[in-house]
Structure 1
Amino acid sequence: MVKIKQFSVEAWMDEHEHNCKYNIAETCAASISIDQLRDISDDKQRQVFDTAKPLTYGTIRGSQNLRDNLSRLYSAKTATPLPADNILTTPGAIQANYLTAYALVGSGDHVICHYPTYQSLYEVPRQLGAEVDLWKAKPEDDWLPSIDELKKLIKPNTKLIIINNPNNPTGAVLKKSLLQAIIDVAAEHDIIIQSDEVYRPLFHSINPLDPEFPPSILSMGYTKTIATGSMSKAYAMAGIRVGWIASRDASIIETIAEARHYTTISVSFFDEQIAAYALDSSTVHSLLVRNVNLAKKNMELMDRFIIKNDDECEWVRPVAGTTAFLKFHREGKPVDSVDFCKKLLEKTGVLFVPGSMCFGEEFKGYVRVGFVNHTDMIKEGLDKVTQFVRKNLDEVALAE
């Protein structure tokens, strides 16, 4: 039997997200309805999905319309278009990441994973028998990991380098020059790079014209790359459970497709039709403008919150995505983040995620905040947190 370690962040959310008043732990951009999606589309006459279609399995590897739209998005500003056949759909990005590991790594393999990050990215390869080393980023380096450290982690059996860009929980991005340096290391040793890009393209604090603006890993010219993504985070549509795996290497896609037969068969074609509608050129730009503007507006609230509480709270300001990693302390000592989050929820109804429990014991005092929910709720929730910090922080235990 596979030894499964508790998936801490999902266990925390499962226990608390339906018992809070202010969910500032949610990592999706504020969810959009089908009616709202239709309203922002430039083509109001186009049908979202076909209600007369028979309820079959649909297209096994993913609907052609959806994969064509994804191909168009990945092919923008690149000399070589990404073929639609190089994309597989999955039930969310979590399945995309699981399938990638399931198909590509096992006992005897070595995996390097960017850290801190979503637990499944490094825990699933471990469950499959691979040796995993964490490529650690530090706040003093603006959560950017060191290429020299990456080089030291390389082994003769290194099979996969996993990155998360934009990053959960920090909101940092691996910029273009750093991506190129990662590729140079991988190419020298013939290593596959997997990039979890589930928060792409929600860039709220870096301009696309910036020369360091991070492209998708698939746009960097290295063939042995994989990008995973979904409709959940930047596209605000977690409820349809649509994700994908894309690669420049057709043989990698074929290997994963064989593994996919054992786990997925196909994705709901209703879900895929809604995703295809959202990613169509008549809709996707308006959808992203909505979500990026929401992130920018709410980031102003986060900035003000940090200023108000700068004696007790610090951060590295996030650049992209929907999350921020905040550190709370009292008299220079980090608080116990689990105790902080539990007392905060009990007294205010605000839900945060404790960093030391859900992202690593070394993240003492850290909490993850999801700030791209509805603005009124974020504002009210952050005001409650400020009141808690001023009135109740002394009641919170310090980290041991």
Structure 2
Amino acid sequence: MAPPPPFTVEQWMDKYETTAKYNIAETCCASVSIEELVSLSENKDVKASDLIGLSAIQHYGEIRGSIPLRNNLSRLYSSKVGTPLLPDNILITPGAIAANFIVFYALLKPGDHVICHYPTYQQLYSVPASLGAEVDLWKSKPQNKWLPDFEELEAMIKDNTKLIILNNPQNPTGQILPKPLLQRIIDLASTRNIPILSDEVYRPLFHNITPMDPSFPPSILSMGYKNTIATGSLSKAYSLAGLRVGWLASRNPDLIERCANARDYITISVSQIDQQIAAFALSPETLHALLGRNIQLAKANLELLERFVVKHDEYCSWTRPVAGTSAFVKFEREGRAVDAKAFCEALQEKTGVMFLPGDVGYGAEWKGYVRIGFVNRTEVVREGLEEVRKFMRREFDEVPLCE
């Protein structure tokens, strides 16, 4: 395994997020405390201190994940499908980032070919490449509302294609792979028995599409193809990034066992305390209020961001997000993309507002693009965008343009 390249999106976040006054680059829904989480729950008999388990012996616990947590996840994945997903088909991991890594470590070897939906979180293509796989990027089209071309995917398939990687909803665009397209992907993969990994860490935060829409994407595990793996976590849609609890799930027991064997080399178990809080968050008494809170935050804040984009439409262009927590906005002046890195650095220095430059976080081709995370607390987003508005009026003409 070769060392992967620098993880630029995480390095940018690490450098700037602790000093930002208005962090609207973050892709987590506004984080909650344990007390806030308990206050949202219908179970009024539970106190925050009850979730810490002060008298519980802190051994490794259930190695593959706590039974209450896996039961709650099983219930979520089994909703509205004919065949329930068994708890044994779920592995608990330290965040979705570990879940994705375990899948790559378990399934890939040098010389394998991988296709990755793009743009996306850098881990999803850099780690397979570091493991010796040949990686092709299946590129979304900004001119087509960030939909990728299915015929391009067909043409990429090779005899040694061992994995197709999807990100649905997509980071950073806030778009989806709609159900009809997902079905075509599954039909294609199944003809060659190619596994599909779907990073669904932003699921189920759908704020501008409903389950009644024929495009609404179900989890990859609900599409009838056994060789699929879904990953997720408490970090994004559930406001609990500090727990570091994620998971991977599959209807194929063989894939689960291969991932479990790889997991033994990466992590023994996940904190009992974190899993206890996670199980409470995903319980029927708490889940709906927590998710409802975050969907309302997303809707309210997206309206604020849309007003900003419309007001500055001579400089800004985008496709309005339908899901997830981020928007990918292109900034231009005089018909040329701005230097997004210089723009973001100046913006934070002069206003305290944190954005993420697209060509830093997602690849050099995304010049002028900026990732905006709009599901922080509404006052942070409102005040931050007001500071950006002032910057646009006073300073934007001085931002350098790309060559």
1:306-385 correspondence runs (5 A): 306-385=309-388
CA distance in 2, matches of 1:303, 1:398: 24
Secondary structure in 1 matching 2:301: helix
CA distance in 2, matches of 1:6, 1:116: 17
Aligned to 1:17: 17
Of 114, 125, 134, the residue aligned with 1:122 is 125
Aligned to 2:240: 237
Secondary structure in 1 matching 2:166: strand
CA distance in 1, matches of 2:203, 2:10: 21
Answer yes or no: is the 8 Å Cα contact 2:168–2:202 preserved in 1. yes
Q: CA deviation at 1:108?
A: 1.5
Aligned to 1:111: 114
CA distance in 2, matches of 1:303, 1:215: 27
CA distance in 2, matches of 1:256, 1:204: 32
Aligned to 2:63: 60
CA distance in 1, matches of 2:176, 2:3: 32
Aligned to 1:139: 142
Of 223, 226, 229, the residue aligned with 1:226 is 229
Answer yes or no: is the 8 Å Cα contact 2:51–2:273 preserved in 1. no
Secondary structure in 2 matching 1:174: coil
CA deviations 1:148-173 (Å, max 9, x no partner) are 00001100000000000000000000
Q: CA deviation at 1:279?
A: 0.3
Q: CA deviation at 1:45?
A: 1.0
CA deviations 1:85-126 (Å, max 9, x no partner) are 000000000000111101100102100000000000000000
Q: CA deviation at 1:387?
A: 1.2
Residue 349 of structure 1 aligns to which amino acid in structure 2?
G
CA distance in 1, matches of 2:184, 2:388: 40
Q: CA deviation at 1:208?
A: 1.6
Aligned to 1:39: 39
Answer yes or no: is the 8 Å Cα contact 2:8–2:360 preserved in 1. yes
Deviation larger for 41-50 or 254-263: 41-50
1:239-318 correspondence runs (5 A): 239-318=242-321
Deviation larger for 206-215 or 313-322: 206-215
Secondary structure in 1 matching 2:88: helix
Answer yes or no: is the 8 Å Cα contact 1:93–1:243 preserved in 2. yes
CA distance in 1, matches of 2:372, 2:402: 19
Percent identity over the alignment is 61
The answer to whether 1:29 aligns with 2:24 is no
Q: CA deviation at 1:20?
A: 1.1
CA deviations 1:188-213 (Å, max 9, x no partner) are 11100000000000001101211211
Residue 18 of structure 2 aligns to which amino acid in structure 1?
H
- RMSD in angstroms over aligned alpha carbons? 0.8
Count of matched residue positions in the alignment of Structure 1 and Structure 2: 400
CA distance in 2, matches of 1:55, 1:2: 36
Q: CA deviation at 1:65?
A: 0.3
The answer to whether 1:50 aligns with 2:64 is no
Answer yes or no: is the 8 Å Cα contact 2:164–2:196 preserved in 1. yes
Secondary structure in 1 matching 2:235: coil
Aligned to 1:177: 180
Q: CA deviation at 1:390?
A: 1.7
CA distance in 1, matches of 2:16, 2:208: 30
Normalization by structure 2: what TM-score? Answer: 0.98
CA distance in 1, matches of 2:61, 2:324: 32
Answer yes or no: is the 8 Å Cα contact 1:38–1:48 preserved in 2. no
CA distance in 1, matches of 2:209, 2:328: 18
Of 210, 213, 219, the residue aligned with 1:207 is 210
Residue 102 of structure 2 aligns to which amino acid in structure 1?
L
CA distance in 1, matches of 2:355, 2:168: 22
Deviation larger for 126-135 or 2-11: 2-11
CA distance in 2, matches of 1:144, 1:49: 44
Q: CA deviation at 1:49?
A: 4.0
CA deviations 1:279-331 (Å, max 9, x no partner) are 00111011100000110010110111111110111101111000000000001
Answer yes or no: is the 8 Å Cα contact 2:2–2:132 preserved in 1. no
Residue 131 of structure 1 aligns to which amino acid in structure 2?
E
Residue 10 of structure 1 aligns to which amino acid in structure 2?
E
CA distance in 1, matches of 2:220, 2:23: 32
Secondary structure in 2 matching 1:283: helix
Deviation larger for 207-216 or 142-151: 207-216
Aligned to 1:92: 95
Normalization by structure 1: what TM-score? Answer: 0.99
CA distance in 2, matches of 1:43, 1:14: 36
Q: CA deviation at 1:267?
A: 0.3
